Amino acid sequence: MKFIHLTDLHICVGAQEKPLARAVEQTRAAIAEINRMHSDAELCVITGDIVADPDPAAYRLAEELLSTLRMPTYCLLGNHDDRDMAGHALSTVSMDENGFLQSAIRTSQGLFLTLDTKAGFGHGGELCMRRLDWIADRLASNPGPVWVFMHHAPFATGLAAMDTIGLEAKSAEALGQLIDAHGNIQHLFFGHYHRPMSGVWRGVPFSSHRSMMLQCALNLSEIDLVSAIYEEPQFAVVLAHKDRTIVHYHDFAAAVEGANMGPASG
């Protein structure tokens, strides 16, 4: 099975600031590239920060853009998103029985879980007990292979400033225990960090990639400022099989000069 992982669109309407103005065009370019090269993908999952800041007009534009993808598309929330606005504007999200935007998607290879890690305030992430119970129920009723998608990583990545706004520790540990108990999580995909990375957490392979806006520089020591650079935006083409998951990172635009993203905000 082929599917697409896209993340951190940061769509904004009428932006004058260059990175935000670029984000819409980079998103258009990504969609065009996906449709041109990968229209045979079974689905596309977008792991949050659909908009740069909560704005109904930005969500309307996001809906317009995402509706042109030639495959079923599923979005989840990032720290820059608004749950109510996204729920009303986007056909690519689903609301659970508790009002969170997360879903269980049946695919040809197994179950995809898209998680809502949006916190009540701030840019960090959380999973309350209702969300954890929802995850536990889906995992318990699906012993087969599961792929998990979320915005905030449930572990420290080494990007010091971004790790201050990751998934909070209690939520991360609770999710980790659920993953350990299930024992058949094939891969974890996340966004938020605007940087390609991969590794293993609690025995589960994970990956993330660049955004449609600015990218995080590889700065492992600065804790107060997110150093940012202009690099090619990316999406991932994922080949999921019974015995392996292969993640191909696809760059689709030229790099330009460096910049600072500003204070830690994801």
What pLDDT is stored for residue 263 in this prediction? 55
Residue of 222, 223, 251, 215 whose CA lies nearest to 236: 251
Dist CA 13 CA 225 (whole Å): 26
In DSSP terms, 146 is beta-bridged to 111, 185
Distances from the Cα of 251 to the Cα of 6, 74, 88, 196, angstroms: 12, 21, 32, 11
Residue of 93, 33, 65, 102 whose CA lies nearest to 248: 33
Mean pLDDT along residues 93-108: 97
The string of pLDDT tens digits covering residues 217-253 is 999 988 888 889 999 999 999 999 989 999 999 999 7
CB atoms within 10 A of CB 39: 10
What pLDDT is stored for residue 36 in this prediction? 96
Please say if the pLDDT value at position 191 is more than 70.
yes
Percent of the chain past pLDDT 90, that is, above it, reads 86
Which residues have CB under 8 Å from 103's CB, separation 6+? 74, 93, 94, 96, 113, 114
Torsion sign (Cα): 34, 144, 245, 181: positive
The string of pLDDT tens digits covering residues 133-144 is 999 999 999 999
In DSSP terms, 6 is beta-bridged to 46
* Domain coordinates in residue numbering, the chain: 2-258
* Helix intervals (H) in the chain: 18-38, 56-66, 83-89, 129-140, 160-163, 169-182
- Report the predicted TM-score, pTM, of the whole model to 2 decimal places: 0.93
Superfamily name with CATH number, domain 2-258: Metallo-dependent phosphatases (3.60.21.10)
